[in-house]
Amino acid sequence: MDTPSMVNGTEVNDRLLFGIVDYVVFSAMLVGCSGVGVYFGFIKIATTAEQYLLGGRRMAIIPVAVSLVASFVSGITLIGIPTELYLRGTQYAFMKVPILIAPVFVGFTYLPVFHELRITSTYEYLEMRFGKSARLLGSFLFIVSIITWIPIVIYIPALAFNQVTGINVHVVTPLVCVVCIFYTCVGGLKAVVWTDVIQTGSMFAAVILVVVKGTVDVGGLGVVWQRNADTGRMELPEPGFDLTTRHSWFGILVGGFFGMLNLGVSQMAIQRFASIESLPKARLTMWMFLIGAMSLNLMSCYTGLLSFATFFDCDPISTKQATAKDQIVPLLVMHTLQGWPGLPGVFVAGIFSAALSSMSTALNSIAAVVLEDFVKTFFGPDCLTQRQTNILLKSTVVVFGVICTVLVFVVEKLGTVLQLSISLGSMTTGPVLGVFSAGMFLPWVNTVGAILGGMVGLGYMAWVVLGTQAYMASGHLTIPGKPMSIEGCSEELLRAVNVTVASVETTAAPELVSEVPYIFRVSYLWYMVMGLVVTLVSALLISFVTGRRDPATLDPRLVTPMMRWLLPKDSKKAAALAERIRGTVPTYEGYKAVKMQIILADNEKAKEAKEEP
């Protein structure tokens, strides 16, 4: 233990570390996850690719809903959100409002299409609608998005573990990633889902422990509210329609809504919904998932307020008790639960559980995409034996798991994780959502329009996101924070870290916008919307220039129920096409062949009619 300091008038140690019981609890979580993998990998063995990737399409609702919570509520939620509220106040918390609206839209637009087609990879849809080239493009963008997202997810708990143990992130990261790769590799989707159930329980227990005990320690909800209100942290999003406002009502409601639509085309989500046997049950699963996700998100927001109320007069970042901004929550945990052996271990296990769940889900989804979208597309659906398929799936999990593990050491150079993860994610997810939406909502979009539109959207978003990150890295663009104080710190601590009260900023730093173009100052909340709109507009314009698709040649199953009224129900072409493909899985190549036959038949009829006297 190091030099003592003062927090809330109580002398505490600068570096509170794990005890033996905490290490036992943390290790038990890793051993438990490995045990689940062993059970489903060597006892309840998945004998087919469908069982490995989809659990035989007969997974129960509750485990799948819990798995979705664990997969989409990562360490970014449990640590990134509290850090955002600690540094900048409550405006981000209102991002949870669109969560109540967007899933209704997803459940009646995107989800019915995928469920009716009974597909394993969402990108199979792109081949049915636009051909193989579109499918390969979508699959490639998915893999790129995963290998840029997962390292961020893994880095967060590594930071937490470093704060509470002193063990370097370069040591702990490979260890936990090996465990995750192991149980995902050998157990398949069932192992992923049931470890998610264990991990979600750990997450809820961890957050509730800290919230309840921490609130009691600072003096109750009133104290938490007042200390945050006194520094301007309790604030609503800003009014107005300026796209450069980081958190405005307009940006949160519109940007947040479209950001949630990614759930409707996400391979990680759709693969879970596809494992449910019926569409009504899949919708119910979505609502159960949202209740769990909303609960953890709101508790994470409150944890940020609690963190500031705890350290309101002795900021750990200014005094270097936290070596990174995203270590505020682990520090809060150790301060709050230091007299309760094992409980800090429960919390850190919960943080790692969130990360491992996200990583395992992503690796399982990548395995599905590689098999369905690349191997079977290039070499045919029956190119591999069952044994070769199993080897391929497990090898894919291992290879991409190692890649993501290595990239963790790049992420640590890039700053706070919440905005970074949303920004980098939107670079690919916006255009991908645009291509899927073009297929389901705009029956006139053709193959050329979809592919070129997706590439235009990707190029545009890469320019915006990477340009903004470059301006932030150069210091021309900064994010203002709320006031911090070290007036309650002990003189011994301030001398030890060579910090004075006068050297700590007590007001928010102004945003440096000189010479920064407007587009690079647009709020990150608009990135998903921008990628979606640019892709849709480009796809539609290019389609009309190159020869739009005739809606009569579309199988209604490829169009969202909301837009099927656009299809010509009484058209002879539509009737002929429906007759030819009835009872089969629609393919783009099949459409082209049928369309040509219809055209030839129509030409022949016209010729005969012309020759009649």
Classified as helix, coil or strand, 58 is: coil
Q: Which CATH class is domain 4-415?
A: mainly alpha
The total of other beta-carbon atoms located within 10 Å of residue 136's CB is 18
Tell me how far the alpha carbon of residue 345 is from its chain's centroid: 25
pLDDT at 434: 94
**pLDDT cut 90: percent of the chain above it:** 16
pLDDT at 359: 74
pLDDT at 531: 93
Distance between CA 273 and CA 279 in Å, rounded?
8
The answer to whether 600 and 608 are in contact (CB under 8 A) is no
- Report the range out of 124-128, 411-415, 421-425, 535-539 with the highest average pLDDT: 535-539
The answer to whether 134 and 450 are in contact (CB under 8 A) is yes
pLDDT at 600: 60
Task: Give phi and psi for 270, each to the nearest 5.
Answer: -65, -35
Distance between CA 131 and CA 140 in Å, rounded?
15
Q: Tell me the mean pLDDT in the region 14-32.
A: 71
pLDDT at 75: 66
| Helix (H) or strand (E) run with residue 179 in it | helix 169-218
User: What torsion, rounded to 10 degrees, do the Cα atoms 201, 202, 205, 208 define?
Assistant: -110
Query: Across all residues in the chain, what is the average pLDDT?
Result: 76
Q: Which residues, in sequence order, are bridge partners of residue 10?
A: 7
pLDDT at 224: 94
Q: pLDDT tens-digit profile of 275-323?
A: 777 788 888 888 888 888 888 888 889 999 999 999 988 888 888 777 7
Task: Dig out the tokens for 277 from the structure.
Answer: 């046997």
Q: Tell me the mean pLDDT in the region 368-392.
A: 78
Distance between CA 483 and CA 479 in Å, rounded?
13
Task: Give phi and psi for 567, each to the nearest 5.
Answer: -80, 135
Q: Which of 21, 373, 402 is nearest to 177 (CA)?
A: 402
Q: Which residues, in sequence order, are bridge partners of residue 12?
A: 5
The total of other beta-carbon atoms located within 10 Å of residue 282's CB is 22
The DSSP letter of residue 248 is: B
The answer to whether 223 and 309 are in contact (CB under 8 A) is yes
pLDDT at 452: 95
Distance between CA 92 and CA 80 in Å, rounded?
11
More confident residue, 191 or 65: 65
The answer to whether 116 and 283 are in contact (CB under 8 A) is no
The DSSP letter of residue 238 is: B
Nearby residues of 575 by Cβ (< 8 Å), 6 or more positions away = none
Q: Tell me the mean pLDDT in the region 259-279.
A: 78
- The type of residue at 106 is V
**pLDDT cut 70: percent of the chain above it:** 71
Lowest mean pLDDT of 77-81, 453-457, 530-534, 595-599, name the range: 595-599
pLDDT at 535: 96
Q: Which residues, in sequence order, are bridge partners of residue 565?
A: none
Q: Tell me the mean pLDDT in the region 531-551.
A: 94
Distance between CA 26 and CA 65 in Å, rounded?
25
The answer to whether 163 and 75 are in contact (CB under 8 A) is no
Residue 52 predicted with pLDDT over 50: no
Classified as helix, coil or strand, 14 is: coil
Distance between CA 86 and CA 441 in Å, rounded?
41
pLDDT band at 226 (very low <50, low <70, confident <90, very high): very high
Q: Tell me the mean pLDDT in the region 17-29.
A: 75
pLDDT band at 219 (very low <50, low <70, confident <90, very high): very high
Lowest mean pLDDT of 263-267, 305-309, 348-352, 585-589, name the range: 585-589
More confident residue, 258 or 326: 258
Task: Dig out the tokens for 27 from the structure.
Answer: 């290790």
pLDDT band at 536 (very low <50, low <70, confident <90, very high): very high
pLDDT at 509: 42
Residue 400 predicted with pLDDT over 60: yes
Residue 337 predicted with pLDDT over 90: no
Distance between CA 449 and CA 227 in Å, rounded?
54
| Helix (H) or strand (E) run with residue 10 in it | strand 10-13
pLDDT band at 446 (very low <50, low <70, confident <90, very high): very high
Its pTM surpasses 0.85: no
Q: Tell me the mean pLDDT in the region 334-360.
A: 73
Q: pLDDT tens-digit profile of 229-252?
A: 998 899 999 998 999 888 899 999
Q: Report CA Rg, the chain.
A: 26
Residue 200 predicted with pLDDT over 90: no
pLDDT at 3: 40
Q: Which residue has the tokens 């007042």?
A: 226
How far from each other are the two terminal CA atoms of the chain, in whole angstroms? 105
Q: Tell me the mean pLDDT in the region 267-274.
A: 75
More confident residue, 35 or 317: 317
As to burial, measured by CB atoms within 10 angstroms (0-12 exposed, 13-18 middle, 19+ buried), residue 281 is middle
Distance between CA 67 and CA 61 in Å, rounded?
10
Task: Dig out the tokens for 138 from the structure.
Answer: 């979508």
Nearby residues of 375 by Cβ (< 8 Å), 6 or more positions away = 383, 384, 392
Classified as helix, coil or strand, 4 is: strand
More confident residue, 88 or 409: 88
More confident residue, 271 or 243: 243
Full DSSP string of 410-427: HHTTS--HHHHHHHHHHH
Q: Tell me the mean pLDDT in the region 208-218.
A: 89
